Amino acid sequence: MKDNEVLFNNIYNNARDFNYISQRILVTGKETIGDKIYATQTIVNGTFAIELYIKAILAYEGKTLKKIKKLGKHELDELFKLISEKRQKELNGDNICEFLKRESKAFINWRYSYEFKYLNINMQELKMVLDIFEEECKKIKNEIDKN
């Protein structure tokens, strides 16, 4: 397995874990944790998963860990712009660019949500974008596994 494929797998596995936790908190939070809905925790884990999915794709496209770390970015729209144009067009079929731009700093902002008077995010859109990136990374994983 090539270095970029190993890096892709490592980042992708982390993205899937954060996505899973995000969905698990959202779906089972009220039944298993109590009456409180843990939206902030769902959003932080979900938006971080999106960041990791994008970084996994960047790794697959040849960005080294050093280059990815050097980016030092959490802004989803800025990271998305670094993906190859062809893949961006394929992924943007569902207009995820709008979501990524609007929620570019969601991971940063929601981690410190107590500092804001008001924050809002569309949870259905968050789930849709997570699903799109999961599917894209799953396709990449299948390509790697074939070789």
Say whether pLDDT at 108 is over 70.
yes
| pTM of the full structure | 0.90
Ordered structural domains, the chain, with CATH: 3-142 (1.20.120)
pLDDT of residue 54: 95
Length of the chain: 147
Which of 26-35, 52-61, 91-100 shows the highest mean pLDDT?
A: 52-61
Location of structure tokens 């999106």: 50
pLDDT band at 29 (very low <50, low <70, confident <90, very high): low
% of the chain exceeding 90 in pLDDT: 57
pLDDT digits (tens, 9 = 90+) for 121-134: 988 899 999 999 99
In angstroms, rounded to a whole number, what is the distance separating the alpha carbons of residues 58 and 64? 8
Q: How far is CA 18 from CA 22, 39, 47, 55, 94, in A?
A: 6, 14, 9, 14, 22
8 token code pair: 């892709």
pLDDT of residue 32: 54
In angstroms, rounded to a whole number, what is the distance separating the alpha carbons of residues 24 and 17? 10
Those residues with Cβ within 8 angstroms of residue 49's Cβ, 6 or more apart along the chain or in another chain: 15, 16, 18, 19, 22, 130, 133
In angstroms, rounded to a whole number, what is the distance separating the alpha carbons of residues 17 and 137? 13
Q: What is the mean pLDDT of residues 87-102?
A: 87
Q: What is the mean pLDDT of residues 44-68?
A: 92
Those residues with Cβ within 8 angstroms of residue 75's Cβ, 6 or more apart along the chain or in another chain: 104, 105
Range from 41-45, 70-74, 82-86 carrying the lowest mean pLDDT: 70-74
